[in-house]
Structure 1
Amino acid sequence: MRPVGFGGRERDSTKLRLGLVGLVVAGLFVAMFVRLWYLQVLDSPRFQSAAVSNGVRNVYDPAPRGRIVDRYGRVLVDDSVTQAITLSRDTAKLHPEVVARLAVLLGMTTAQIQLRLSDPKYSQFKPVPIKTNVTNDVAIYLKEHQSDFPGVDAQSLPDVSYPNGSTAAQLAGYIAPINSAQLAARKDQGYQPGDLVGQSGVEESAEPWLRGQPGTTRLLVNAGGQVFGTLSQTPPVAGHDVQLSVDLGLQKELDSALSQEIGSLGGVHTGAAVVLDPRDGSVLAMSSFPSYDPSIWIGGISSAAYANLQNPAGNFPLVNRAIAGLYTPGSSFKMLTATAALDTGLISPDFTYTDNGSFSIPGCSVGACSLASEGLGSVNVTRALAGSDDAFFYNLGLLFWNQRAKYGLSPIQDMANTYGVGTPSGIDLPGESVSRVDSPQVRQRLHAANPKAFPNGGWYVGDNVEMAFGQGGTVVTPLQLLNAYASFANGGTVYQPRVAADALDQSGRPVKSFQPVAARHVNLPPSTRDPMLAGLKGVTKPGGTAGGTFTGFPFNLMDVAGKTGTADHIGEKPTSVFMSFAPADNPQYAVGVIIDQGGFGAQAAGPVARAVYDYLLANPVRPLANPVPGPSATLPPLPAVVPVNAASGAGPGNGTR
């Protein structure tokens, strides 16, 4: 028998427990309804947006890049966008049946597709373009039947063409897929992985103008990722054309003249040539040798082809040596030394020096203390420039050294910097090297950085003498040296060289003009310029170092002033240099040529410049014309390229320096 009252207490405890459970259950239902109400009413916009985005895929359609055209609107680089069908190599191996299906859809044979897949020019890590210029119907069909075509995609690919082959290859540059560093630097500019961007030349420097605005297609997809509709579409906007100051006909002639001259030398040589307008610094033509066919980049370059471009045995044809090559100037530097001597008052125009055929460096006991010279007798600055008399300029280096308390340690270097030699030119192209004018500071810096290559960290009288005629540690780019001559030609204004003239809209009208920029001015009063100009004119006449090169040239139609340079190198043939401008009294052109190990300046570089002036006599550069459709779009024809010396019969120079 249980104690009295025990059953009543048990019933009360059960009721209490049931009540507590009921309260908990009721609370859970209340919380659940509150949460549902929040999700459906208060937070529904966010989830609606998420639901839509989960069913939408954004497809970016690349825009056609702008074209690169010459000063008359003739095309150097053409660019458009084509729709292509691509196939993954890996998928094709795993699912060979896809190849057969795709062949039927595209009207190709399986053998043709396999041939494309095995083409080594396409990267192993990217889908291979199987067919280009396909219709939208084919692209849409593939997107709607993706499960039947794994590894197949419809992509918009750039359709680049180079109607003039390798002409101006380094100047125009090339495009390639954006790399991770470039993508990170442009993350706020709408670039996407895989976008093609300019990697060199005008393609790189004018990227903001050439690049169009990509379009966006918002596709509706189901849970399996298959497309079942299009939500919206924003078409791409093509980039601007960029018009250069370059004359395509002149560019072809310069490329041909440089290539043929180097080819005639035998052996392995590099070189560069530039034509400037000294009136505003615009580039009329720019060549670099060796060159290459830029179409190798179309559709993606193969690893083997890229390795060939980077092979030292091929002399790195991607390098634009006109702006990146560094060469010893030799006697072409004498114009800068003469300007410094006349400008500072070290000498007067009437000053003469007697060259007996040799020059002894006072106080010299180590190294080459006696230097050979031309033995021209009594010469002033005019005759010294025309005949490239070394002893005259040795003496200027000595005089500056002996009077360094008055003129300082760097009067020649300072003048060179004023001309723009030793400082960046500011040209609107990437990859410019900076010239170096030898000096006490440069010598110390080079010695500290590499004592084995530069064992002498001091600066002595012999160094000053050597620097005065363009030898020693001085190296220049062809462009920077020519720009110095162009500045002398125009009376002293040092322009910033420029390649781009205008950015054009789709109708051919300018939306941006790139104006000349005067960087600095060289003081060239008549007392300095006139005797020097007379000497530079004498270079191309009988008795001048390039007199033989310009034999028979019609100076009555175009007088040419210039300066040869023959830069000596131990164990190698000299570097051949020729810097010039014409017409001498009213310059419109400045032509500079440098050929590594080409020999005397008049024998290799000089004939290239002669060929250019022959061409310009028959085909003068005309004013820039925007390619607006209509009668004004009539363009001058491209004349046949004349081989070097074929028309002129020019022979080697009768001088050496």
Structure 2
Amino acid sequence: MTNIPETGRTPRVRIRLVVLQVLVFSLLLTLGGRLWYMQIRNGQEYAEEASRNRVQQVVQPAVRGSILDARGVPLADNETRLVVSASRTELMKMKDDGKGVLTRLAGVLGLAPKEVMDKVRLCDADTPQPCWNGSPYQPIPVTDEATPKQALQIRERAEDFPGITAEPTAVRRYTAPGGARTAQVLGYLSPVTDQEIEKAKHSDSPFLRSDQVGRSGLERTYDKELRGKAGITRYEVDHLGRVLGEARRDPARPGSNVVTSIDARVQAVAEYELNEAMKAARKEFDRNTKRKYEADSGAVVVMEAKTGRIVAMASLPDYDPNAWVGGISAKDYAKLTGEKSNFPLLNRAIQGQSAPGSIFKVIPTTAAVNAGYRFNGRYDCSSSYSIGDRSFSNFESKGYGMIDLGRALEVSCDTVYYRLAHEEWRKDGGTKPKKNAKDVFYTTARQFGLGKETGIDLPNEVKGRVPDRRWKQDYWEANKDAWCEQGKKNGSYTERIAYENCVSFKDLRAGDSVNYSIGQGDTLVTPIQMATIYAALSNGGTLYTPSVGKAVVSPDGRTVDEIKPKARGKLPVDRKLLEQMGDALAGVATRGTAAWRFGGWPQDKIPMHAKTGTAEVYGKQTTSWFATYTKDYAIVMTIAQGGTGSGASGPAVRNIYDALYGLDKQGNQDLTRALLPQPQTALPKIQPDGTIDAPPVQPYKPGRPSGAVAKPKS
């Protein structure tokens, strides 16, 4: 056995000790650096995360404010329903994650187990609806339609349903007083999205995951006022999610009430009469298309002439807003949005745009006078008017000889306006416009408020269209490639049109101007635009911003924020011309194209002014328009593919006026039967406890207006 000298072993031991010391020092340095990074560099961030992990919040939804009509009748309020909810926190503590409990619950509620389980799962990027988008510590609603018997079963057998509650809860309700659904005006609610939560995070009104928000109509416009502020209870929890105690409680604050200018009684009449007019139109034969009219959609607006406030607004087809309460089913959603639905979610009073036909003629009449033509001058109302090899006919090819502009409005003579528009087009240089072309017919339309939104307090209003030179150029640039590719000079009708558009659409042609002068061609308007115009003709020329909201009132009724009428412009019409056109429009109702619909009307007591319109639409049947006003109201109705203005819309508009003023067909007025002989001015009173003494509204029946004013006592 050989002995290794002591002096040879010592260096190796020392090297090993040095390596070990370096390793230990490196580990200590790494640990110290990590501690510095976590506690100093990112200490605040981790502290906040730790704080969030310790405190979880449970939300108590605020009671949403009501939407009321002008007399305080609820159009949208809340009702108490038995809501069955599941505590996901409790379910996750069970061995089967609560599947057994949810299966038993489905049996009691008469639902499929999968349907119940889907509702209590949490939403994420890979989880489709239905799912829960709120806090996992929040009770998750399973149904808001539980019966008392079902709720009693759940409560009596609490040991079989741990984590399940059945409690009365306030749920949105759309009341349809007197049958007035007011669907597109009211809108509907649906759960808030992650994007909306993120966007509103730093605003003065942030969203909670449990919030329901307005998606259309008044529910959307006044969502912030209606929503109120949810109550929040904060609980301290450990790392396993077990509640240790309550940290803080902020009580819920109910939302404010929105009082509207809608009168539920008049709304019921408007909806009924529009529907009846469309049904009647479908029975009439269209000689042009050799089939009955389709009358597939329509709208009517009843507006206060002196304020622009909306008394009634109906759009068909419509829908039941209650379908959205508690979450809409896939089947119902398809019915509202599918290709065969005809899109009932659209509010055609503000989103339906079409050529206006002859109700537009008040605009070229004004344009002609402002261009220097005399209102009482003599103009040839021939049966047709020719430009080159193209002939433009008067309606039904009827001529009236030499007439003035007032008579042209009364009998709706197209050829008078053809001549005036063609002459002005030539003065402006035709297809080669002068540098400072006046284009007075187009400029006047914009002065009347067309080609832009009216500003009504409802979302998604459309602008319509004034097809002037600027629009023609922009539209040509956007479509020229497709037209030039499709067009053929000697091809089919569609190909020839595409070729013509490719070559010359950018030019304002003579045919464009004459078609425009009678509200045809590329001109598009909405019913709300035409209602504001006819209201302005009634009130002396002021264009008001139309409004549905009248006041926002606090839940206890103490704070009232009234929404005042706002003027947004004046018609380019002096007093003399207003009077002249007013006389002519009164003549339309007494001896012109609408006279047969206003037989027996008390013209001496309640002067009626009207204009009929029948707009031609390529590939479809004619659109019916009827525009009217008295000293109190303007009413405009339109029915797509419905026929003539006076034929399809006239009777319905007359019936709405009869209900407003309490008139029979002989023109006798009975104020005890009148719904609203004068516009409503006073606001309804809301009691300190939030209750409203609202009058009842009876369903409307022709000849018996709903909820008419009571007969005065002798």
SS at match of 2:233: strand
SS at match of 2:530: helix
Change (3 A) 1:17 1:626: same
Q: Say yes or no: does 1:185 pair with 2:199.
A: yes
Q: Say yes or no: does 1:459 pair with 2:531.
A: no
Deviation at 1:445, TM superposition (A): 2.9
Amino acid at match of 1:352: R
Tell me the number of residue pairs that the alignment of Structure 1 and Structure 2 aligns: 625
Deviation at 1:316, TM superposition (A): 0.4
Task: Report if the CA contact (8 A) 2:79-2:170 is conserved.
Answer: yes
Give % identity. 30
Q: Give 1:536's aligned residue.
A: 585
Which of 474, 478, 481 is the aligned partner of 1:449? 478
Deviation at 1:177, TM superposition (A): 1.4
Task: Report if the CA contact (8 A) 1:57-1:220 is conserved.
Answer: yes
Partners of 1:49 and 1:331 in 2: how far apart?
Answer: 67
Deviation at 1:220, TM superposition (A): 3.0
Amino acid at match of 1:502: A
Amino acid at match of 1:183: I
Q: Say yes or no: does 1:616 pair with 2:660.
A: yes
Deviation at 1:430, TM superposition (A): 0.7
Q: Give 1:550's aligned residue.
A: 598
Q: Give 1:628's aligned residue.
A: 686
Q: Give 2:142's aligned residue.
A: 129
Partners of 1:646 and 1:192 in 2: how far apart?
Answer: 44
Matches within 5 A, 1:340-379: 340-345=367-372, 347-356=373-382, 358-361=383-386, 363-366=387-390, 368=392, 373-379=397-403
Partners of 1:313 and 1:303 in 2: how far apart?
Answer: 15
Greater CA deviation, 83-92 or 303-312?
83-92
SS at match of 2:568: strand
Amino acid at match of 2:702: P
Partners of 2:470 and 2:44 in 1: how far apart?
Answer: 69
Greater CA deviation, 562-571 or 442-451?
442-451
Task: Report if the CA contact (8 A) 1:121-1:302 is conserved.
Answer: no
| CA RMSD of superposed structures (Å) | 4.5
Deviation at 1:403, TM superposition (A): 2.8
Change (3 A) 1:121 1:422: farther
Which of 252, 259, 262 is the aligned partner of 1:236? 252
Q: Give 2:697's aligned residue.
A: 638
Amino acid at match of 1:608: A
Change (3 A) 1:55 1:395: same
Deviation at 1:626, TM superposition (A): 3.2
Matches within 5 A, 1:562-573: 562-573=610-621
Greater CA deviation, 543-552 or 369-378?
369-378
Q: Say yes or no: does 1:380 pair with 2:424.
A: no
Task: Report if the CA contact (8 A) 1:79-1:159 is conserved.
Answer: yes
Q: Say yes or no: does 1:517 pair with 2:547.
A: no
Q: Say yes or no: does 1:161 pair with 2:190.
A: no
Q: Say yes or no: does 1:414 pair with 2:443.
A: yes
Partners of 1:544 and 1:479 in 2: how far apart?
Answer: 24
Q: Give 1:399's aligned residue.
A: 423
Q: Give 1:107's aligned residue.
A: none
Deviation at 1:84, TM superposition (A): 3.4
Amino acid at match of 1:253: V
Deviation at 1:371, TM superposition (A): 8.0
Partners of 2:521 and 2:653 in 1: how far apart?
Answer: 26
Partners of 2:380 and 2:46 in 1: how far apart?
Answer: 95
SS at match of 1:498: coil
Deviation at 1:440, TM superposition (A): 2.8
SS at match of 1:442: helix
TM-score (norm 1): 0.82
Q: Say yes or no: does 1:201 pair with 2:211.
A: no
Partners of 2:116 and 2:635 in 1: how far apart?
Answer: 43
Deviation at 1:415, TM superposition (A): 1.0
* Gapped regions of structure 1 (runs ≥ 5): 104-109, 648-657
Q: Deviations over 1:569-615 (max 9, x none)?
A: 34533111011111xxxx21110001111111001111221111001
Q: Give 1:258's aligned residue.
A: 274
Task: Report if the CA contact (8 A) 1:209-1:240 is conserved.
Answer: yes
Q: Say yes or no: does 1:560 pair with 2:557.
A: no
Task: Report if the CA contact (8 A) 1:421-1:476 is conserved.
Answer: yes
Change (3 A) 1:21 1:375: closer
Q: Say yes or no: does 1:97 pair with 2:113.
A: no
Task: Report if the CA contact (8 A) 1:326-1:435 is conserved.
Answer: yes
Partners of 1:332 and 1:83 in 2: how far apart?
Answer: 52
Matches within 5 A, 1:230-379: 230-266=246-282, 267-345=294-372, 347-356=373-382, 358-361=383-386, 363-366=387-390, 368=392, 373-379=397-403
Deviation at 1:146, TM superposition (A): 12
* Gapped regions of structure 2 (runs ≥ 5): 120-128, 133-139, 283-293, 484-493, 662-673, 707-714
SS at match of 1:604: helix
SS at match of 2:508: coil
Deviation at 1:77, TM superposition (A): 0.6
Partners of 1:339 and 1:134 in 2: how far apart?
Answer: 64
Deviation at 1:237, TM superposition (A): 1.1
Partners of 1:87 and 1:534 in 2: how far apart?
Answer: 68
Task: Report if the CA contact (8 A) 2:384-2:392 is conserved.
Answer: no
Task: Report if the CA contact (8 A) 1:608-1:644 is conserved.
Answer: no
Deviation at 1:251, TM superposition (A): 1.0
Deviation at 1:7, TM superposition (A): 7.2
Task: Report if the CA contact (8 A) 1:271-1:321 is conserved.
Answer: yes
Partners of 2:14 and 2:381 in 1: how far apart?
Answer: 130
Amino acid at match of 1:299: G
Q: Deviations over 1:334-377 (max 9, x none)?
A: 011111111232x1122012324x2222x412575898643223
Partners of 1:156 and 1:477 in 2: how far apart?
Answer: 44
Partners of 2:657 and 2:54 in 1: how far apart?
Answer: 66
Amino acid at match of 2:175: P
Partners of 1:146 and 1:180 in 2: how far apart?
Answer: 36
Change (3 A) 1:600 1:224: same
Task: Report if the CA contact (8 A) 2:307-2:565 is conserved.
Answer: yes
Deviation at 1:147, TM superposition (A): 13
Change (3 A) 1:486 1:222: same
Partners of 2:190 and 2:395 in 1: how far apart?
Answer: 52
Q: Deviations over 1:413-439 (max 9, x none)?
A: 111111111111111111111111222
SS at match of 1:230: strand
